[in-house]
C-alpha cells in the first residue's frame, strides 16, 4: 500500500502542470460556432457546416493573406490554412497559447475530421515547407522585422515546434492543417457499474452551494426561504450533516412566496466574498402581501404585450407575482466574512425585479461566471402551455433568456433613462447583443423554456451544462454558449413544436439558428407511473471518491428514480452519449435509506437538485433527504481504479482550504491531474 501511495504521489508531481485533457467546439470569444449557410459561406477559408468566422472575418483573412504575397505556392497553402484556423470550431483551445497562431500538431495525432484515422505532424510539415520562404507579416515572427523567414527566428524544426507546437505532450488540441484538428487519443475511465449513495440528512432542500472559503462547509436552502450553513462529514466517517435548524444563516420566509414553482430559486456568493461579504438570492414574491414586491411587468408595451390580454382563462396572473434578485451581506456580523455564521437579513440592493405573466416556469438560478465575474440569471419563459406569447424568442423580452449583468458597476442615469433597466446593475459591453438595438442588451442566450439547474465543469469552465424541461416529449441537456439560441418554442428538443393556443407572434424556424441538445431522454423512457417527467441537471463528476464516474456528467429526473451519465466520446469531440446508471444505498449509510419491499433501489422521492462541495463530492437533494456519492465498493460495485484513490482527509477548520490525504489542496490543478491520472491508470486494467 505504501508503495502504491508513493507511486501515486510521484505521478501526481510529474503531471501537476498538465493543462486540460478535454476540449469542445468553442470560438476564441467563448461563443459557439455558427452554422454556415449560403448567405454566410466562407469563400476564402472554405469551412462548411459550422465555423467561428463570419463572412466579414473571412474577407479580412483573405485580404491579409493577399498582402503577404508569398512567392512559394506550397508555403502559401500552408500559411493560408494557418490563418484560417481562427475559423475552426475548436479555435478556443487551438489558440490557448497565442492569439497570433494556433498550436500546430508536432506529434503523431489522429486527425479529428479524418475518417481514415490518418496521422500527421503538421508542425514539421510547416517548417520543411516554409523555413526558407519570405513571409511578410508572418504570424510566427518573433520581432517586428518584415519580411521574415522561419529560419530567421528558429534554428531547426525542434526549436520551431517547441515554440508553436502542441499535442500529446500537453494533452491539448492542435491544428493539423486544412480544417482538421488533432486530439489526444486517451480512452475514458472504465464505465461505472452503478452509483453508490449514503443518506446524510433527512431534510428537504432545493439549493446547495459550497462555502467560498474552500472548507468542508456548505450552504443549503429550502424552497420556502431559509438558507442554512452546514458542515459536511468526511467520507467514511459514518456521520451526518451538521446543521443547526434553529439558527438559519438567513431567513427570508417573510418575503418569499412559496407554492409549487414559486419560492427561493437560487443563491450565489460574490467571487470576492472573502473580502466584501456580498451574496445574492433569487426568489419569488407576492405584491399583494409584500410592499417591496414591485416592478415592471414582463408583459409590457416594449414587446407589444398587454397584461390584460394574457388570457385569464389560461391561468394568467399578470404581475401579481414577481421574480427578484436581491443582494445581501454578512458584513458587521463577524470579524471576517468567511467566519460569519449569520447574514444581515436587511436587503442591500434590489438587483432585479420583474412581474410574471403566469404561475410557472420561473427557473431563477443565479451564478457568477468563473472567468468573467459577471452575474448570470436564468429565466424561464414565464409559464402557460407552450409559451403562447413566444416570450422565449422575442428579442425585447427577458423571459426565456439567460441574462448577464455587472453588479460591481452601477448604471449611470443615462443607462437608466435609455435602457429602462430592471434594477441596479450595468451591462457588460461584451454581451453578445450589446450593440444590437433589436435585443435587450442584458440577453446572453435565448430560446429557453424552463432551465432547471446549470453547472460549470470544474476543470473546463467553457463547459456550462443546463437542463431544460420539455413541454411533453424530450428532456434536454444543453451546452450553453455566448449568444446561443436554444430553440424554444419553435423547437422542443430536436422536433418542431406548435402550441395549441398562440396569440403571440409566430417566428419561423428558418429565421433562427438553433443549438440542439447534446443529450437527454424522451419522457417515455423514465421509470414512473405519473406520465410525466422533468429533467434535473447535475454536474460533471470531479470527485476522487468514485473514479469510474470521473469526467462523466451526472443528472436525473424529478419524478423518477432515474440516474443518467453523459460521456463525451471521443474525448475532446464535443459529442456526448447518455446511459442510464443503476444505483443503490450502502448498508453503512449514516441514516438508513428507504427501500420498498424487496427492491434494491432506494426510494429517493423527488429529486429536486444536485450539489457539489469543495471536495467535488456529488450530492443529491431530494424530498426524502440529502444523499452523497460514496465509494462504489460499499455497494458491491466494482471500479478497478478505486484502490488507487487515497482515503478522505479529516475536515479542515473553517476558512481553510480542503486538503487531500497527500497534503495537496483540492483545487482545479490537482483535480485536473487526477483526471489525466485516472485515464493513464485505466490502461492497467
Q: What is the pLDDT of residues 145-189, one digit of tens each?
A: 555 889 888 888 888 988 888 764 445 678 888 888 876 555 567
> Are residues 664 and 646 in contact, defined by beta-carbon separation less than 8 angstroms?
no
Beta bridge partners of 183: 110
Q: Which CATH superfamily is 195-642 part of? A: TolB, C-terminal domain (2.120.10.30)
The share of the chain scoring above pLDDT 70, in percent, equals 84
Closest residue by Cα to residue 551 from 216, 211, 192: 192
Which triple of cell numbers denotes residue 296? 415592471
Strand duo 344-355 + 195-201: pairing: unpaired
pLDDT of residue 169: 44
Categorize the per-residue pLDDT at 133 as very low, low, confident or very high, splitting at 50, 70 and 90. very high
pLDDT in tens, 388-440: 999 999 999 999 999 999 999 998 887 777 778 999 999 999 999 999 999 99
Closest residue by Cα to residue 19 from 669, 505, 466: 669
Which triple of cell numbers denotes residue 609? 437538485
Longest CA–CA span in the chain (Å) reads: 80
Which triple of cell numbers denotes residue 512? 433562427
> What residues contact residue 114 under an 8 Å CB cut-off, 6+ apart?
180
- Average the pLDDT over 103-130 and give the result: 65
Closest residue by Cα to residue 462 from 16, 18, 19, 15: 19
Closest residue by Cα to residue 110 from 188, 35, 49, 187: 187
pLDDT in tens, 528-558: 766 679 999 999 999 999 999 999 999 999 9
pLDDT of residue 13: 38
- Output the pTM of the full model: 0.77
Q: How far apart are CA 158 and CA 49, in angstroms?
A: 35
Domain spans of the chain, in order of start: 22-183, 195-642
For helices 55-68 and 73-83, the axis angle rounded to 10 degrees is 150
The share of the chain scoring above pLDDT 90, in percent, equals 61
Q: How far apart are CA 550 and CA 682, in angstroms?
A: 12
pLDDT of residue 645: 60
Q: How far apart are CA 308 and CA 299, in angstroms?
A: 9
pLDDT of residue 526: 83
Closest residue by Cα to residue 641 from 194, 195, 189, 236: 189
> Are residues 261 and 361 in contact, defined by beta-carbon separation less than 8 angstroms?
yes
Which triple of cell numbers denotes residue 625? 433527504
- Average the pLDDT over 614-642 and give the result: 95
Q: How far apart are CA 566 and CA 192, in angstroms?
A: 12
Beta-carbon count within 10 A of 171 CB: 23
pLDDT in tens, 306-354: 888 886 545 567 889 999 999 999 999 999 999 999 999 999 999 999 9
pLDDT in tens, 79-105: 999 999 999 988 988 888 788 899 998
> Are residues 189 and 92 in contact, defined by beta-carbon separation less than 8 angstroms?
no
Average per-residue pLDDT for the chain? 85
Beta bridge partners of 28: none
Q: How far apart are CA 676 and CA 674, in angstroms?
A: 5
Closest residue by Cα to residue 254 from 292, 200, 207, 208: 292
- C-alpha separations of 333 from 23, 246, 253, 475 in Å: 43, 18, 20, 43
Amino acid at each position: 500500500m505504501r508503495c502504491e501511495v508513493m507511486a501515486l504521489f510521484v505521478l501526481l508531481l510529474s503531471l501537476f502542470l498538465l493543462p486540460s485533457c478535454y476540449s469542445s467546439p468553442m470560438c476564441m470569444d467563448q461563443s459557439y460556432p455558427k452554422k454556415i449557410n449560403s448567405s454566410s459561406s466562407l469563400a476564402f477559408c472554405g469551412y462548411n457546416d459550422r465555423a467561428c468566422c463570419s463572412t466579414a472575418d473571412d474577407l479580412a483573412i483573405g485580404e491579409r493573406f493577399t498582402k503577404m504575397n508569398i512567392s512559394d505556392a506550397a508555403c502559401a497553402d500552408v500559411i493560408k490554412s494557418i490563418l484560417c484556423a481562427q475559423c475552426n470550431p475548436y479555435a478556443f483551445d487551438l489558440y490557448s497559447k497565442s492569439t497570433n497562431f494556433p498550436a500546430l500538431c508536432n506529434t503523431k495525432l489522429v486527425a479529428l475530421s479524418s475518417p481514415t484515422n490518418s496521422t500527421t505532424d503538421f508542425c514539421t510539415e510547416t517548417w520543411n515547407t516554409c523555413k526558407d520562404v519570405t513571409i511578410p507579416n508572418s504570424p510566427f515572427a518573433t520581432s517586428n522585422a518584415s519580411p521574415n523567414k522561419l529560419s530567421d527566428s528558429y534554428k531547426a524544426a525542434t526549436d520551431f515546434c517547441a515554440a508553436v507546437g502542441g499535442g500529446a505532450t500537453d494533452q491539448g488540441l492542435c491544428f493539423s492543417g486544412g480544417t482538421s484538428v488533432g486530439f489526444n487519443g486517451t480512452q475514458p475511465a472504465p464505465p461505472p457499474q452503478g452509483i453508490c449513495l449514503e443518506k446524510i440528512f433527512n431534510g428537504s432542500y432545493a439549493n446547495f452551494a459550497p462555502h467560498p472559503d474552500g472548507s468542508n462547509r456548505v450552504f443549503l436552502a429550502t424552497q420556502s426561504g431559509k438558507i442554512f450553513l452546514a458542515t459536511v462529514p468526511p467520507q467514511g466517517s459514518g456521520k451526518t450533516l451538521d446543521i443547526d435548524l434553529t439558527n438559519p444563516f438567513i431567513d427570508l420566509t417573510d418575503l418569499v412566496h412559496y407554492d409549487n414553482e414559486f419560492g427561493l430559486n437560487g443563491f450565489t456568493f460574490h467571487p470576492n466574498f472573502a473580502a466584501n461579504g456580498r451574496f445574492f438570492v433569487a426568489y419569488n414574491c407576492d405584491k399583494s402581501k409584500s410592499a417591496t414586491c414591485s416592478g415592471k411587468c414582463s408583459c409590457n408595451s416594449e414587446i407589444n404585450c398587454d397584461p390584460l390580454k394574457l388570457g385569464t382563462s389560461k391561468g394568467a396572473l399578470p404581475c401579481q407575482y414577481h421574480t427578484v434578485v436581491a443582494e445581501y451581506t454578512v458584513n458587521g456580523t463577524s470579524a471576517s466574512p468567511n467566519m460569519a455564521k449569520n447574514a444581515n437579513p436587511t436587503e442591500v440592493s434590489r438587483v432585479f425585479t420583474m412581474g410574471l405573466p403566469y404561475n410557472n416556469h420561473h427557473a431563477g438560478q443565479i451564478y457568477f461566471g468563473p472567468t468573467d465575474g459577471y452575474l448570470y440569471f436564468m429565466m424561464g419563459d414565464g409559464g402557460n402551455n407552450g409559451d403562447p406569447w413566444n416570450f422565449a424568442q422575442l428579442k425585447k423580452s427577458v423571459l426565456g433568456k439567460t441574462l448577464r449583468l455587472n453588479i460591481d458597476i452601477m448604471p449611470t442615469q443615462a443607462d437608466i433613462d435609455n435602457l429602462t433597466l430592471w434594477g441596479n446593475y450595468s451591462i457588460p459591453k461584451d454581451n453578445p447583443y450589446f450593440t444590437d438595438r433589436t435585443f435587450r442588451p442584458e440577453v446572453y442566450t435565448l430560446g429557453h423554456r424552463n432551465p432547471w439547474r446549470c453547472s460549470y465543469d470544474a476543470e473546463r469552465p467553457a463547459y456550462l451544462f443546463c437542463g431544460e424541461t420539455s413541454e411533453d416529449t424530450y428532456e434536454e441537456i444543453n451546452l450553453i454558449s455566448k449568444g446561443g439560441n436554444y430553440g424554444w418554442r419553435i423547437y422542443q428538443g430536436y422536433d418542431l413544436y406548435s402550441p395549441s393556443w398562440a396569440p403571440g407572434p409566430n417566428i419561423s424556424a428558418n429565421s433562427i439558428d438553433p443549438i440542439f441538445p447534446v443529450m437527454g431522454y424522451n419522457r417515455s423512457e423514465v421509470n414512473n407511473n405519473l406520465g410525466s417527467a422533468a429533467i434535473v441537471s447535475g454536474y460533471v463528476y470531479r470527485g476522487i471518491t468514485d473514479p469510474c464516474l470521473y469526467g462523466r456528467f451526472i443528472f436525473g429526473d424529478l419524478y423518477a428514480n432515474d440516474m443518467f451519465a453523459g460521456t463525451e466520446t471521443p474525448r475532446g469531440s464535443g459529442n456526448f452519449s447518455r446511459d442510464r446508471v443503476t444505483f443503490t444505498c450502502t448498508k453503512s449509510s449514516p441514516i438508513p435509506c428507504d427501500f420498498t419491499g424487496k427492491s434494491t433501489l432506494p426510494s429517493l422521492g423527488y429529486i429536486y437538485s444536485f450539489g457539489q462541495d469543495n471536495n467535488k463530492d456529488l450530492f443529491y437533494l431530494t424530498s426524502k433527504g440529502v444523499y452523497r456519492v460514496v465509494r462504489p465498493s460499499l455497494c458491491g460495485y466494482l471500479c478497478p481504479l478505486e484502490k488507487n484513490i487515497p482515503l478522505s482527509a479529516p475536515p479542515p477548520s473553517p476558512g481553510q482550504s480542503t486538503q487531500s490525504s497527500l497534503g495537496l489542496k483540492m483545487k482545479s490543478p490537482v483535480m485536473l491531474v487526477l483526471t489525466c491520472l485516472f485515464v493513464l491508470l485505466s490502461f492497467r486494467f
